[in-house]
Amino acid sequence: MKTTLLYVDDDDLKIDDFLSFLSNDFDITTQTNPLEALALINQGNVYDAIILDIMMPEMTGLELAKKIEENIHYNSCPIIFRSGYNDPDIAKEALTSSSREFLSSGIPLHEYSLRIKNKIEDNLKLIPLIEKGDLLLNQNQQRLRIKGDDVSISQTEFKILRFLIEKSGEIIPRDDVIKQVWGDDFYVTSNNFNTHVSNLRKKLDPSTYTILTYKGKGICFCKKGMER
């Protein structure tokens, strides 16, 4: 599975150059409009890193980064600024957290690949992995591995599974799971909730763990064969 990038730049020529050098190393989504890029985050799209130009119309890269970091769907991946402006004040403003990086557009593009990969690796070390038996949850990338194989999982399914693993062996009331995953102000129907749990249970089929439903009580993440 390729590393995924979101690259936002209002200059089509810069985007074309970026793609020509780096598309073999990364799965790259490009966007020329900062508002459209923010919409991709709002839709729950998850990336391994986000590359932002600084000087853009409607919204600067610095403003966009702040909105992304405040978004509930942001997965704490690195945000890397790519700019031809070598102003120290701009660089200082860009580097306000350990997950950020500032790279001059004067850096050769073949070097960008190494720098991006190194930043992603460094960022992963800051966010612990969750291991449970043959399951591995990567919290930064919001990915699931079962017995070493990647398993496709939605953002909502990831949140449900992470919460259930934290409460492993306990029967958790449905309302408690909904509150943890969706929040207090979000209404979730029983059918919607049950669909997510059913899909997740199917994806866990290769694992030695499963999700059990106890009518009138809730759901429980436990090892197969440990049914009560």
Residue-wise pLDDT tens digits, 114-170: 989 988 888 776 666 788 899 988 776 678 889 988 888 888 898 899 999 989 999
Q: How far apart are the first and last CA of the chain?
A: 38
User: Global pTM?
Assistant: 0.59
Q: In the chain, pLDDT over 90 holds for what percent of residues?
A: 40
Residue 33 pLDDT > 80, yes or no?
Answer: yes
Residue 184 lies in a domain: yes
Partnered with residue 146 across adjacent β-strands are 135, 149
Same domain, 81 and 163: no
Q: What are phi and psi of 143, to 5 degrees?
A: -125, 155
**Do residues 88 and 173 share a domain?**
no
The amino acid at 119: K
For 202, the domain range is 129-223
Q: Is the pLDDT of residue 206 over 80?
A: yes
Are residues 133 and 117 part of one domain?
no
Q: Tell which residue, 151, 133, 130, 162, has the closest CA to residue 203.
A: 151
Q: What's the half-sphere exposure (Cβ side, CA atoms, 13 Å) at 100?
A: 19
Residue 130: HSE in the Cβ half-sphere, 13 Å Cα cutoff: 18
Do residue 28 and residue 101 come from a single domain? Answer: yes
Tell me what pLDDT residue 39 has: 93
Average pLDDT score over residue span 32-56: 91
Domain co-membership, 122 together with 143:
no
